[in-house]
């Protein structure tokens, strides 16, 4: 059985990482158009670096939770039966990996990696990222950016994602508001291909009406219940 799981910020909420659109969420406190676009980085690189360094600090303090762990069990359980879990996350944190997930597709990039705007090299980033940071590959200073996908930028791995989605026997969305495209359009693509769809979320998302069934509740309870 091939299962396609799309996760969003809600799966990391109980690890203490804020979501984006809930009360108190990141985009409620910060304007994404001023911090999560290429134009913002060109205009105020220091402010953008400070915003992402603050979020890196938060991720380092956070621990994976029971929902991340349940997906690791699902991944190994499916593999043991000759199936496959395609775990596609909109999240830029590394909690799926730290929970033990072996294959994670980060369609919006990774907060704990940096990319050089001059040579395109992407590297894990240890210390705080700043304008003076030199690219470890080409040595250029001033060109390092967070290796994430900003609004208006092309998400990563779209071809592999489409292939896995079309080959899935079940599509499950976990902890996402269904507000950001193209991720929010995956459920419609699954339905169009006759693939059963399930939503697991704290509350009905913007695309709740497109799911065949749903389980609502905090991810640390709803995901293990759905998986085990
Ligand atoms: C693209 C990475 C073209 C960086 C993010 C005008 C100009 C330019 C583009 C557009 C435009 N108008 C529309 C667009 C498209 C745009 C878009 O969709 N905008 C929206 C706002 C209308 N999309 C883009 O720009 C994308 N690129 O379109 O390029 C293209 C398109 C197709 C094919 C080729 C090219 C790029 C989008 C990526 C932007 N990057 N983040 C960073 O993190 O700083 S967006 C950000 O939103 C995160 O990635 C986040 O993951 C994502 C989605 O949010 P969610 O994860 O769903 O989080 P949210 O807070 O919204 O919801 C949380 C959910 O969890 C809630 O439902 C809540 O109920 C639930 N929850 C809370 N607690 C719990 C819980 N569930 C369970 N348990 C709990 N405890």
ipTM field: 0.93
The arithmetic mean of pLDDT across residues 77-97, rounded, is 98
206 pLDDT above the threshold of 90: yes
pLDDT of amino acid 77: 97
pLDDT of amino acid 8: 98
Residues having CB within 6 Å of any atom of ligand 1: 8-10, 13-14, 19-22, 25, 36, 90-92, 108, 148-155, 158, 175-177, 179-182, 201-203, 205, 218-219
If you classify domain 19-61+113-148 with CATH, what class do you get? alpha beta
Confirm whether 1-17+64-108+155-228 and 19-61+113-148 share one CATH topology: no
The arithmetic mean of pLDDT across residues 192-198, rounded, is 98
- Which one of the listed residues 49, 57, 108, 157 is annotated catalytic? 108
Domain boundaries, the chain: 1-17+64-108+155-228, 19-61+113-148
If you classify domain 1-17+64-108+155-228 with CATH, what class do you get? alpha beta
The pLDDT tens digits of the residues spanning 31-57 come to: 888 899 999 999 999 999 999 999 999
pLDDT of amino acid 5: 98
The pLDDT tens digits of the residues spanning 154-193 come to: 999 999 999 999 999 999 999 999 999 999 999 999 999 9
Answer yes or no: is 9 a known binding residue.
Answer: yes
Q: If 0-12 CB within 10 Å is exposed, 13-18 middle and 19+ buried, where does residue 32 land? A: middle
């Amino acid at each position: 059985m091939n299962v396609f799981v799309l996760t969003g910020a809600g799966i990391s909420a109980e690890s203490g990482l804020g979501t984006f659109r809930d009360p108190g969420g990141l985009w409620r406190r910060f304007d994404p158009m001023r911090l999560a676009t290429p134009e913002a980085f060109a205009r105020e690189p220091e402010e953008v670096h400070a915003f992402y360094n603050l979020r890196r600090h938060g991720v380092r303090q956070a621990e994976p939770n029971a929902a991340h762990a349940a997906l690791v069990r699902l991944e190994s359980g499916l593999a043991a039966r000759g199936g496959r879990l395609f775990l596609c996350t909109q999240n830029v944190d590394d909690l799926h990996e730290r929970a033990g997930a072996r294959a994670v597709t980060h369609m919006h990039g990774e907060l704990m990696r940096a990319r050089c705007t001059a040579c395109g090299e992407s590297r894990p980033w240890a210390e705080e990222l700043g304008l003076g940071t030199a690219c470890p590959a080409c040595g250029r200073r001033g060109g390092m950016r967070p290796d994430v996908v900003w609004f208006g930028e092309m998400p990563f791995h779209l071809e592999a994602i489409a292939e896995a989605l079309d080959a899935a026997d079940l599509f499950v969305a976990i902890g996402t508001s269904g507000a950001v495209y193209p991720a929010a359009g995956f459920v419609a693509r699954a339905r169009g291909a006759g693939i059963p769809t399930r939503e697991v979320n704290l509350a009905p998302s913007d695309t709740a009406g497109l799911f065949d069934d749903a389980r609502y509740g905090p991810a640390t309870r709803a995901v293990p219940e759905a998986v085990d």
